[in-house]
């Protein structure tokens, strides 16, 4: 050994890595060598983050309750009956208004049948008859308007002309009572102060 080799420090060369033992098993297919319980899942593509939250859907439009609307519709017979009563009521209102102008003649006929005497109409009787005629026509106008409103709204309306007819008859009775109770001849007959005159025999 030379002096240079003796003076050179003893440097060990690095050990070479040992190659791993080769796996002589065949290449796995379909997960033969996977640990127990493991199954392969395909990778899912990443979903991009939403830029903004979606706006809530508008509430559905309300649906009309057709069953309730049908239940509020008046039957067909009510419309026919109401129209018929209104037509009859128009004739009755006009007849009542005209008959009030004939009160003096009607009272005279009644007095002759009862044998009371002669009816003397007071001065205020024409005014009372005119007011009564206006009341009769106005009452029918109210009945007609209310009946039309109820028919259009699909409600029962036949009873309105009936109530109007009763009210018209009551007005006529009140006016006749006013005339009779203000006639002295009739009051004497009611109280017994006047004796009925017998009707002449033919």
User: Backbone phi, then psi, for 63, in 5-degree steps?
Assistant: -95, 130
Task: Report if residue 50 sits inside a domain.
Answer: no
Q: How far apart are CA 130 and CA 136, in angstroms?
A: 10
Task: Report if residue 37 sits inside a domain.
Answer: no
- Output the pLDDT for position 55: 61
Greatest mean pLDDT among 12-16, 134-138, 189-193 lies in: 134-138
Task: Report if residue 71 sits inside a domain.
Answer: no
Per-residue model confidence as pLDDT tens digits over 20-64: 666 566 665 555 556 666 666 666 655 555 445 556 666 666 555
- Output the pLDDT for position 107: 85
Task: Report if residue 108 sits inside a domain.
Answer: yes
Domain that holds residue 123: 81-191
Task: Report if residue 53 sits inside a domain.
Answer: no
Q: How far apart are CA 200 and CA 202, in angstroms?
A: 6
Per-residue model confidence as pLDDT tens digits over 100-139: 888 888 888 888 888 877 888 889 999 999 999 999 999 9
pTM of the model: 0.57
Number of structural domains the chain divides into: 1
Q: How far apart are CA 137 and CA 142, in angstroms?
A: 9
Spacing of C-alpha 104 from chain mean position? 50
Q: How far apart are CA 129 and CA 125, in angstroms?
A: 6
Task: Report if residue 17 sits inside a domain.
Answer: no
Per-residue model confidence as pLDDT tens digits over 76-95: 999 999 999 999 999 999 99
Task: Report if residue 149 sits inside a domain.
Answer: yes
Task: Report if residue 151 sits inside a domain.
Answer: yes
């Amino acid at each position: 050994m030379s002096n240079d080799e003796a003076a050179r420090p003893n440097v060990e060369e690095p050990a070479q890595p040992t190659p791993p033992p080769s796996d002589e098993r065949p290449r796995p297919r379909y997960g033969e060598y996977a640990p127990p319980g493991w199954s392969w899942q395909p990778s899912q593509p990443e979903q991009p983050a939403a830029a903004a939250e979606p706006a809530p859907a508008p509430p559905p439009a309300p649906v009309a309750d057709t069953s309730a609307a049908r239940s509020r519709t008046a039957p067909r017979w009510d419309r026919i009956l109401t129209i018929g009563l209104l037509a009859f009521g128009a004739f009755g209102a006009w007849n009542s208004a005209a008959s009030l102008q004939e009160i003096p003649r009607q009272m005279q006929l009644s007095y002759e049948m009862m044998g009371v005497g002669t009816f003397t109409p007071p001065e205020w009787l024409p005014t009372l008859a005119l007011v009564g005629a206006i009341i009769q026509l106005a009452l029918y106008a109210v009945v007609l308007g209310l009946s039309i409103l109820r028919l259009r709204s699909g409600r029962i309306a036949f009873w309105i002309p009936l109530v109007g007819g009763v009210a018209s008859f009551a007005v006529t009775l009140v006016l006749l009572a006013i005339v009779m109770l203000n006639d002295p001849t009739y009051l004497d007959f009611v109280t017994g102060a006047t004796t009925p005159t017998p009707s002449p025999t033919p």
